[in-house]
Chain A
Amino acid sequence: MPQVSLTVNGKAHKVEVEGRTLLVELLREKLGLTGTHVGCDTSQCGACVVHVDGNSTKSCSMLAIQAEGCSITTIEGLAKADGTLHPMQEMFREHHALQCGFCTPGMVMSAIDLVKMHPQGLSEAEIREGLEGNLCRCTGYHNIVKAIAAAWPLMHGHAMPAAAE
């Protein structure tokens, strides 16, 4: 059986997989990282979003074996060892950006990439558009958008430029 060597949340792993094993299956079933969710399994809902070498990626639409040599970050890898939450997680909590919570891991992972990809600032419209690949069936988008806007200055270390707001 093929083996895949990859780093997940800073820890090196060597895992036996089938050719058809999806990255999300490796994370959930082989490594027990069940924070990454499977919602639709048709690559639309974004509950399975993780970072692959820093890029937000739907882990249900990538083979595990394609992650050979890659560095993966999942929702479990965001908080510090002492339990301090990532600013995006903290702002999701602060702004109550979740109802049932099923979409939340994917939302947080996509939101972090979105903020990183927009160092010049993010308007509300850009945040809403940037969440195109993530579905929340509780219709909780409003507070998610607020949380992301609030996390931007925390992640970039300065206030958002006025023009972007």
Chain B
Amino acid sequence: MYDFAYHKPANVADAAKLLAADGEAKALAGGQTFIPVLKQRLNKPSAVIDLGGLGLSGITLAGNTLTIQAMAKHGAVAASAEVKKAISALATLAGWIGDTQVRHRGTIGGSLANNDPSACYPAAVLALGATIKTNTRSIKADDFFQGMFTTALEPGELITAVEFPLPVEKSAYEKFRNPASRYAMVGVFVAKGPAGVRVAITGAGQNGVFRHAEMEAALAKNWSPEAIVGIKTPADDLNSDIHGSAAYRAHLIGVMAKRAVVAAG
């Protein structure tokens, strides 16, 4: 790993200032992706800004909104009584990320800012029509994800919280794991809530998470696994690698979507 200066600001304003002052500085959330990346020397930041001192780890359920602050750990989301009560599929999803040790440190804000094409959280955030709050503005999920490892975040902009609109009538997440890495080869989050009927797919798309319009239209008319039988997903924009071809992933999307609809009830 290349060396870097280390800063641990105590508030969001100072963190933003440090990032704005140095274009080569990088923010560190849970570090479960970022530190392995640094170890492989795939990134050479001049400074690492540790967000661990910001205290943004709260989870609150108030009115028609579930708010998860950016530094909330996956393990905390998975175990949260508030999350289970409001959107139990979101707690399930968090409990399936990585392993126990990764869930003790990895954060929702870090996962979203990284936008790994195989990450789980982007599927939930997109399917549930959540809003990403930053230190400067609010960004709708539909505008946030802009392709593999690419988001609407400006340089120096920090996620502070994610707001999920309630009530969510139905939701479920089904994930087909790569047997070795355990990342999603295909993950499908289905939801029926204030944002309408939505189906978001992670792990499969070349450009990261995406919505499945044809399945959404079919499920909006008839929420049942039968409604999406026979809907073909074009393989053109899907990933093809040693673990599975694009055609295989296209098929898996149909299988996992049906399972998710069944699980959502």
What's the nearest-Cβ distance from chain B to residue A6, in Å?
14
Binding site for B on A (CB under 8 A): 2, 18-20, 22, 41-43, 46, 49, 52, 55-58, 60-63, 65-66, 68, 110, 113-114, 117, 130, 132-134
Q: Chain A: which residue is nearest B34 at the CB level?
A: A61
Q: Chain A: which residue is nearest B98 at the CB level?
A: A133
What's the nearest-Cβ distance from chain B to residue A66, in Å?
6
In the assembled complex, which residues on chain A have CB atoms less than 8 Å from the CB atom of B104?
A: 52, 55-57
Contact of B31 among A42, A61, A113, A134 (CB under 8 A): A61
Contact with A along B90-119 (1 / 0, CB 8 A): 000000001111101100000000000000
**In contact, B5 and A57 (Cβ under 8 angstroms):** no
**A110-B102 Cα distance, complex, nearest whole Å:** 12
Contacts A22-B35, A55-B104 supplied; 12 other A-B pairs, CB < 8 Å: A19-B48, A42-B36, A43-B102, A49-B101, A58-B102, A60-B39, A61-B32, A61-B35, A63-B28, A110-B100, A132-B182, A133-B101
Binding site for A on B (CB under 8 A): 1-6, 8, 28, 31-32, 35-36, 38-39, 48, 50, 52, 75, 98-102, 104-105, 182
Q: Chain B: which residue is nearest A23 at the CB level?
A: B35
In the assembled complex, which residues on chain B have CB atoms less than 8 Å from the CB atom of A133?
A: 98-102
**In contact, A61 and B36 (Cβ under 8 angstroms):** yes
In the assembled complex, which residues on chain B have CB atoms less than 8 Å from the CB atom of A113?
A: 100
Lowest 10 A-B CB distances belong to which pairs? A133-B99, A19-B6, A55-B104, A132-B99, A20-B1, A20-B3, A133-B101, A58-B101, A19-B4, A61-B35
Q: Chain B: which residue is nearest A44 at the CB level?
A: B181
Q: A2-B6, A57-B105, A132-B182 are in contact. Are A62 and B31 (CB under 8 A)?
A: yes
**A110-B32 Cα distance, complex, nearest whole Å:** 17
In the assembled complex, which residues on chain A have CB atoms less than 8 Å from the CB atom of B75?
A: 55
**A43-B99 Cα distance, complex, nearest whole Å:** 10
In the assembled complex, which residues on chain A have CB atoms less than 8 Å from the CB atom of B4?
A: 19-20
In the assembled complex, which residues on chain B have CB atoms less than 8 Å from the CB atom of A63?
A: 6, 28, 31, 35, 48, 50
**In contact, A20 and B100 (Cβ under 8 angstroms):** no
